[in-house]
Amino acid sequence: MVDKTFVRTVEDSCDKALCALGAKRPRRGTRFFEINKDILCWIGLNQGRHDDFIRINPFIGVHVIPVMNLEAKFDGAKYKKGDYATFSLHLGELCPDVDAFKFYEDTDIEAETARLAQTIQKFGVPYAEQYSTIESTLPILKPLIPKLGGYPERYALSLYLSGKEDEAKQFISDCKARYKAEESEGVQSRFEKFSNLFLNEMK
């Protein structure tokens, strides 16, 4: 298994290459390009560690600042800009013909991380730029609702922040009824708490 020092060297080189192209890195593990005051192009660099190399699996997402700010507030947490994606996908879905990013001991790390950063800039940033408003994210979030994991809440918040308050209220009501009918106690309890906080926010 590759050692931690090598992993840290690759991570730092990735961050340096991204920042050279205009990305922000407010803290270790958090990277993004700013699209506008509400939208960030979020970058996740997952790792696959092997005996003699590591593979960097980039994920590209959209971080909607007002949505994630409210989500953090409802969770009783401090909002940290760019920490999590509102939604994301593997970079390979946007550019399937691009070679994987593998780092061996003899890899030219600077050159390979520059290729990674340039690929993200070429394919990832334009993807995020498609979702430059909160309302434009709704068609992406809606199919993700059945996966749970915060997606129903983010969809409701996005409706509300897009000025669709009545739709947001109806969506929450429908979700509560569905989770109750499915007897999903954990989901029902979490969503009930969210619903109460949400309705209080709207007052």
137-173: per-residue pLDDT in tens?
999 999 999 999 999 999 999 999 999 999 999 999 9
Alpha carbons within 13 angstroms on the beta-carbon side of residue 4 total 0
Q: Name the residue ranges covered by the structural domains of the chain.
A: 4-129, 135-202
Q: Give per-residue pLDDT as tens, 74-111.
A: 999 999 999 999 999 999 999 999 999 999 999 999 99
pLDDT exceeds cutoff 80 at 11: yes
Q: What angle do CA 18, 19, 25 make, to 5 degrees?
A: 100
Lookup: tokens for 176 = 């509560």
pTM: 0.94
**Length of the chain (residues):** 203
Q: Phi, psi at residue 6, to the nearest 5°? A: -65, -45
- Residue 109 φ then ψ, to 5°: -60, -45
The answer to whether the CB of 51 falls within 8 A of the CB of 85 is: no
